[in-house]
Amino acid sequence: MNNNIEGKVIVITGASSGLGEAAATHLSEQGSIVILGARRVERIQELANEINKNGGKALSIATDVTKHEQVKALVDAAVQTYGRIDVIINNAGLMPHSPLDRLKIDEWNQMIDVNIKGVLYGIAAALPHMQQQKSGHIINVSSVAGHTVRPNGVVYSATKHAVRVISEGLRQEVKPYNIRTTIISPGAVATELPNTISEPDVAESIKSFYEQYAIPANSFARTVAFAISQPDDVDINEILFRPTSQML
Ligand SMILES: NC(=O)c1ccc[n+]([C@@H]2O[C@H](COP(=O)([O-])OP(=O)(O)OC[C@H]3O[C@@H](n4cnc5c(N)ncnc54)[C@H](OP(=O)(O)O)[C@@H]3O)[C@@H](O)[C@H]2O)c1
């Protein structure tokens, strides 16, 4: 195939639905080996079975990205099984939007734990292997909300801005190790993400926005494949994409 994806060992967090699931399917169709992490283990097992049945190679490992040791175990399993890790896609995330004055402090903490610390734990798990290999690719999922801020999405937006800052700092630090870094910032993509909103009025308005504008998750999978498939001396640092009909 010679697409610079074939044979690569790719770890994906949040692979049980939405963008992570779409990326796993697409990248395995391009010939990569995918290692799937998420908490809903039956979903990633089913996806791995499907990929293996279709002639691909996939492994599923129950992973909560808020637990550093579980993210390390996910990456270490990839290295033990396949001898290396070429790409990690730090994709797990949630978006329980609400206005700040509703004081949903547990949800703020959860977003910080998953969207920021989960990404850092993915970097911590993959970086030592990639430094040793002198090759690798770290892909972090931010959002349009990582470029803007809107009412009801303040904490989410803060976490997605943090992902971009961490990724850009990482990009500069890993220069000596031949490691590529990519930030992917999607607009509205049809996934289970709006289900994480607990405030009924906010959920209703976001769900109707998604029903009107969201594009299929394969749009994300194609951007990931584009970044990975570049020649090794080309580092796609950032991709921001939206549905054509989405204004903000
Ligand atoms: N869809 C969009 O419009 C959009 C736009 C911009 C950015 N994003 C970002 O894209 C990423 C993927 O979201 P999605 O849209 O695909 O939503 P989704 O369908 O709800 O998927 C979220 C994924 O994150 C996983 N996850 C959540 N908490 C986790 C934890 N503690 N440990 C491990 N995995 C966890 C979920 O798996 P389990 O529940 O099984 O653990 C699930 O696989 C998120 O970072 C999101 O912020 C999405």
Q: How would you write the pLDDT of the chain (248 residues) with one tens digit per residue?
A: 579 999 999 999 999 999 999 999 999 999 999 999 999 999 999 999 999 999 999 999 999 999 999 999 999 999 999 999 999 999 999 999 999 999 999 999 999 999 999 999 999 999 999 999 999 999 999 999 999 999 999 999 999 999 999 999 999 999 999 999 999 999 999 999 999 999 999 999 999 999 999 999 999 999 999 999 999 999 999 999 999 999 99
Q: How many CB atoms lie within 10 A of CB 27?
A: 27
Mutate which of 45, 72, 94 for ligand 1? The one with the most ligand atoms within 8 Å of its CB, which is: 94
Task: Report d(CA 204, CA 199) in Å as an integer.
Answer: 9
Identify the pLDDT of residue 1: 58
Identify the pLDDT of residue 231: 98
Q: Is 84 exposed, middle or buried (0-12, 13-18, 19+ CB in 10 A)?
A: middle
Residues with CB under 6 A from ligand 1: 13-20, 38-40, 63-66, 91-95, 114, 141, 143, 186, 188-189, 191-193
Identify the pLDDT of residue 215: 98
Closest to 90 in 3D by CA, of 125, 56, 46, 135: 125
Q: What's the 245 CA to ligand 1 centre distance in angstroms?
A: 23
Q: What pTM was estimated for this model as a whole?
A: 0.98
Q: What's the 134 CA to ligand 1 centre distance in angstroms?
A: 29
Q: Which of 121, 156, 177, 210 is catalytic?
A: 156
CB-CB contact of 1 with 25 (8 Å): no
Mutate which of 97, 193, 220, 238 for ligand 1? The one with the most ligand atoms within 8 Å of its CB, which is: 193
Q: What's the 178 CA to ligand 1 centre distance in angstroms?
A: 28
Identify the pLDDT of residue 2: 76
Task: Report d(CA 182, CA 130) in Å as an integer.
Answer: 15
The yes-or-no answer on residue 156 being catalytic is yes
Atom of ligand 1 nearest to the CA of 191: 19
Task: Report d(CA 125, CA 19) in Å as an integer.
Answer: 21
DSSP string, 142-195: --GGGT---TT-HHHHHHHHHHHHHHHHHHHHTGGGTEEEEEEEE--B-SSGGG
Q: What's the 172 CA to ligand 1 centre distance in angstroms?
A: 27
Residue 215 is classified by DSSP as B
Task: Report d(CA 31, CA 201) in Å as an integer.
Answer: 43
Identify the pLDDT of residue 159: 99
Q: What's the 120 CA to ligand 1 centre distance in angstroms?
A: 16
